[in-house]
Chains A and B, each alone.
Chain A
């Protein structure tokens, strides 16, 4: 089956620093990638949707200047949390799909294992 990896799996950083999280599709080309965040004992909240080579579409309430997304290739998307603060501590999960737009079906969206970010 399709595999999506994330790196790092855990990261601890000081307040004010920037952190980059990578999401890779290992055995397929991901036309679309999604970034979610999940607070403890909470559900997944979509942050943004990105298509290879174009700007990401951010959900309402998500600061695009704080959460920089780059989908530079069909197998890699990065999320950079800039000037991180303790309230940014969360579990960040990416997912990838081989399709785009309304053609994305549930079973073509594959989730990564997540990255635990802790900001001190």
Chain B
């Protein structure tokens, strides 16, 4: 099956710093997605990217869909304590009657006030 390599696995940063995380895959995806999951909760969609090369922002978050369609990154600028959580990338492949959403293993973000 398809696999996503997400890095880093965890990060400890100072409040106010910028953060960057990325995902790579050996397979092509139609859509790249970034989710945030708080402990004991389901994931919440942050950004969805639908076209290769697309760069999309959502507040302090910026994500890009790699031009090869095999990678994506997420940047968080000026981090704040409530950014703490686990961030997951996910690649979506849909076509020829199939639909498959594959998640990365997550990046655990800790923000030191």
Contact = CB atoms under 8 A, between A and B. Distances in A.
Contacts of B31: 105-106
A106 B88 contact: no
Interface residues of B, number: 25
Given A44-B88, A114-B40, A116-B40, A106 B45 contact: yes
Contact of A106 (B33, B41, B44): B33
B45 A43 contact: no
B40 A49 contact: no
Contacts of B99: 49, 101-102, 104
Contacts of B73: none
Contact of B42 (A41, A45, A113): A113
B101 A114 contact: no
Main secondary structure of the interface of B (DSSP, over half): strand
Most buried by B among A43, A60, A95, A106: A106
Contacts of A9: 40
Contacts of B35: 111
Contacts, number: 60
A102 B103 contact: no
Contacts of B8: none
A80 B91 CA distance: 28
A109 B100 CA distance: 12
Interface of B: 1, 31, 33, 35, 40-45, 48, 88, 90, 92, 94-95, 97-101, 103-106
20 contacts: A6-B42, A9-B40, A42-B106, A43-B88, A43-B104, A43-B105, A44-B103, A45-B103, A46-B101, A49-B99, A95-B42, A101-B99, A102-B98, A106-B45, A107-B48, A109-B45, A109-B101, A112-B42, A113-B41, A113-B42
